[in-house]
């Protein structure tokens, strides 16, 4: 196993470390993460509109449901629009360009891919269908396109520069004038004059990837990569999430839309809450079970670490365990850290595939205890709590023999220190 970790550290780690710092992926990650407050708050309005208590649900009239869903439709329903600004802002700042101009230009490029409709009562109306999670890939590509145009033009000094003494905000606005004209002109020519549907083309291009992300291999590969990277000392979610999160967001948006439309069975199994509440119980590697084992350890060090890590572990923060035990580059704890989540991932996928547990459609705050988070994420399915408890027990059983072997090793070291002290 030590040779395997050496291989991971020597072969897998360097490219993954570079990937985590790649400016475009970092901008995508930061831009999407910036929308999380809106997604979390907006998704709770789905619970209010479709309460898990039958007596309350029966009292909800269609008109009341639609009124309650308005914040949801203007947060989750516009998720890609908000993300386009965040991605453009982050990417611009990485190039040392004006972040606000980059964000605004990215948002404009994204909006231009959607043609307004005309309604007699209200005039022009912008369809919202492609502004939510389904348009996430379009938002990503248009944001990168807009910022790269701005970067090239400013690098070649093709811009309007204002004289000294002009306020910075005004000067930045004029500097963005030429990039804005170029971006708007190009997108307008392609989308309107040539009639090329950018949204449909990009969504069809990524559809196989989204479909694959909702399969059993599609959940096992991210789980394996995340745990492997963590075991080698790299923040696995930061690396893998930069690539996988747009897919998870599309899957989540489809589930939320289906729930808002009154669907009993949701279309997708594996949006991000699937991993958060049923796989990463206590943090990456599902280490909450390991914390419980540490609490009853005969090793003074492991027992103290277990007490210190209990509250963070309940809140899904496990850096104290990962770096304190340590799990990083530790074959004894690294094996269950990698294998365990694969086992619970398969069990959870099967349970949701056969509709034994409701599929996730809500994004509760990630620091909630797992049973509560899973209950809320599945819109109040009590069976989700049972599944979480089962997964914790399975993870504890998987960790147990490796924990005992590691405990035995530490006890020898501690007894040796005591002998030296005497």
What does the pLDDT look like over 107-164, one tens digit per residue?
999 999 998 888 777 778 888 888 888 888 999 999 999 999 999 998 888 888 777 7
**Domain assignments of the chain as residue spans, ordered by start:** 23-206, 216-421
* Mean pLDDT across 243-257: 89
- Determine the pLDDT at residue 260: 85
| pTM passes above 0.95 | no
Question: Above 80 in pLDDT, residue 381?
Answer: yes
> What confidence tier does 422 reach under pLDDT thresholds 50, 70, 90?
very low
* pLDDT, tens digit, 9 for 90 and up, residues 186-201: 999 999 999 899 988 9
- Determine the pLDDT at residue 358: 94
- Determine the pLDDT at residue 242: 78
- Determine the pLDDT at residue 19: 67
- What is the rounded distance in angstroms from the CA atom of residue 29 to the CA atom of residue 99? 16
- What is the rounded distance in angstroms from the CA atom of residue 369 to the CA atom of residue 374? 9
- Top pLDDT among 374 and 413 is at 374
> What confidence tier does 417 reach under pLDDT thresholds 50, 70, 90?
low
> What confidence tier does 20 reach under pLDDT thresholds 50, 70, 90?
low
Over the range 165-184, which residues count as b (16 or more CB within 10 Å of their CB) and which as e?
Answer: eeeeeebbbebbebbbebbe
Question: Above 70 in pLDDT, residue 407?
Answer: yes
Please compute Rg for the chain using Cα positions: 25
């Amino acid at each position: 196993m030590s040779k395997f970790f050496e291989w991971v550290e020597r072969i897998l780690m360097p490219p993954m470390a570079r990937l985590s710092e790649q400016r475009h992926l970092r901008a995508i990650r930061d831009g999407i993460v910036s929308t999380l407050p809106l997604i979390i708050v907006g998704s709770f309005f789905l619970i209010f509109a479709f309460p898990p208590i039958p007596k309350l649900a029966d009292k909800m009239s269609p008109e009341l449901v639609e009124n309650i869903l308005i914040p949801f439709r203007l947060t989750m329903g516009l998720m890609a629009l908000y993300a386009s600004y965040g991605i453009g802002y982050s990417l611009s700042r990485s190039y040392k360009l004006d972040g606000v101009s980059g964000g605004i230009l990215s948002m404009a490029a994204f909006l231009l891919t959607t043609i307004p409709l005309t309604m007699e009562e209200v005039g022009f109306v912008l369809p919202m269908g492609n502004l939510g999670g389904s348009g996430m890939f379009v938002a990503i590509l248009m944001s990168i396109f807009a910022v790269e145009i701005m970067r090239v033009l400013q690098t070649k000094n093709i811009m309007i520069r204002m004289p000294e003494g002009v306020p910075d905000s005004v000067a930045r606005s004029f500097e963005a004038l030429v990039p804005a004209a170029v971006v708007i002109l190009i997108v307008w020519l392609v989308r309107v004059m040539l009639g090329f549907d950018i949204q449909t083309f990009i969504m069809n291009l990524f559809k196989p990837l989204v479909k694959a992300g909702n399969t059993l291999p599609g959940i096992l590969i991210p789980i394996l990569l995340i745990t492997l990277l963590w075991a080698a000392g790299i923040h696995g979610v930061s690396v893998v999430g930069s690539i996988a999160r747009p897919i998870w967001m599309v899957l989540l948006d489809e589930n939320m839309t289906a729930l808002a439309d009154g669907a009993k069975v949701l279309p997708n199994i594996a949006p991000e809450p699937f991993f958060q509440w049923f796989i990463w119980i206590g943090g990456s590697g599902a280490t909450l079970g390991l914390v419980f084992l540490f609490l009853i350890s005969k090793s003074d060090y492991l027992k103290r670490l277990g007490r210190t890590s209990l509250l963070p572990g309940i809140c899904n923060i496990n850096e104290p365990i990962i770096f304190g035990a340590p799990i990083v580059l530790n074959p004894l704890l690294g094996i269950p850290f990698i294998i365990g989540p694969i086992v619970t991932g398969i069990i959870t996928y099967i349970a949701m595939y056969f509709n034994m547990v409701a599929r996730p459609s809500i994004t509760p705050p990630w620091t909630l205890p797992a049973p509560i988070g899973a209950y809320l994420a599945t819109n109040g399915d009590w069976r989700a709590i049972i599944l979480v408890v089962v997964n914790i027990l399975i993870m504890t059983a998987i960790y147990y023999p490796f924990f005992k072997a590691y405990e035995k090793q530490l006890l020898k070291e501690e007894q040796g220190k005591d002998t030296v002290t005497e």
